[in-house]
Amino acid sequence: MTQAVQVAGAGFRPYEVRVGRGLLAEAAEQLGDLLGGRAVIVADGNVVATHARTVAAALQARGVAVSIIPVPPGEASKSWRGLETLCDALLAEGLDRRDVILALGGGVVGDLAGLAAALYMRGVDFVQLPTSLLAQVDSSVGGKTAIDTAAGKNMIGAFHQPRRVLADIDALATLPLRQLRSGWAEVLKHGLIRDAAWFDWLAAEGAAGAQGDVAALEPAVVRSVEIKAAIVSEDEKEAGARALLNLGHTFGHALEAELGFDETVMTHGEAVALGCTLAFRFSAAQGLCAAGDAMAAARAFDAAGLPTRLEGYGPLTAERLIARMAGDKKAEGGRLTLILARTIGDAFVQKDVDRDTVAAFLKAEGAR
């Protein structure tokens, strides 16, 4: 059974996130009202021979002309060069404003194709077809599109909302366990931000979702999308409540940058997991939340096979991590802004956090 979550806000056209099984094979029916011209599938190289062919066949059976543009897998594609290459390929296809771009893959393809759609002819329609858990529960919803630069992750981008999102639970069956766990980090994050009872379920009965159990994955995707949709509807462009979705990301992005965005060392989801546990432990160290809450958060990530400590990630220095954090998009005038917690389910934005205090905390956590 397909479930639909509405994403609506004052500043953008509302759209649906549809969650269910077999949605990619039903792409023509699910997207029929959006297909006025051709469809260009921008696909992660890992899914060209599988999911991309499924979607293309479904659309072609309904008389839709389809092209597939492969994108090399990995974070390195989210770059100036990757964006230029994709835009050149779209230009070579001769796309016009009746056509639609379908972003098929994980967060990298969704971010890259979404930004290209925002830029091409000053904005064309695109649809998110996320095939990773992380993309289904987080990056495909809300219209954030971006590339990485040497200065940091997601520093160049635009808000460009999709026309629709199809989250096909069956696509998750092809994921390696490590990628499933990485997506589960974002699922847990949503509970930590705004729904303590949901977090408790995820940490107990729902924990099998981190191992690929469909009975747990489907409600996990739906509830995560509901939480994110509610926040995006309040604040599309991160002027207020939407910043809460960055729980763990200021620490996590700094770690990713220091490790060279090397997903063999640390995936984005692993960075989020470690970042969330650091944010909760820092909150506890500052007397903002109970130590027991920080321990419960760490236990849930640890039980899912996700990192909760800095140890094992090479020589990390507090000074360099702080410098990375000061360059975060939420920072103001070089001053740190962190998403911290009062308790599980109650996160808040803390501006002007003292750098020396964070540095001392990071050293206590194992950084040099």
In degrees and rounded to multiples of 5, residue 4 shows phi and psi of -115, 130
Would you tell me how many other CB atoms lie within 10 Å of the CB of residue 292?
Answer: 11
Q: What is the DSSP letter of 56?
A: H
Q: Which two tokens stand for residue 190?
A: 């949503």
Spell out the long-range contacts of 232-238 with Cβ–Cβ below 8 A and sequence spacing 24 or more: 232/7, 232/9, 232/141, 232/142, 232/143, 233/7, 233/8, 233/9, 234/9, 236/9, 236/10, 236/11, 236/12, 236/142, 236/143, 236/159, 236/161, 237/11, 237/159
DSSP letters spanning 212-273: T-HHHHHHHHHHHHHHHHHHHHH-TTSSSGGGGGGTTHHHHHHHHHHTTT-TTT--HHHHHH
Residues forming the active site: 122, 144, 186, 228, 238, 242, 246, 249, 253, 268
Distance of alpha carbon 176 from alpha carbon 189, whole angstroms: 21
- How many C-beta atoms lie closer than 10 Å to residue 104's C-beta? 31
Asked whether 94 and 124 are in contact (CB, 8 A), the reply is: no
DSSP state of 21: S
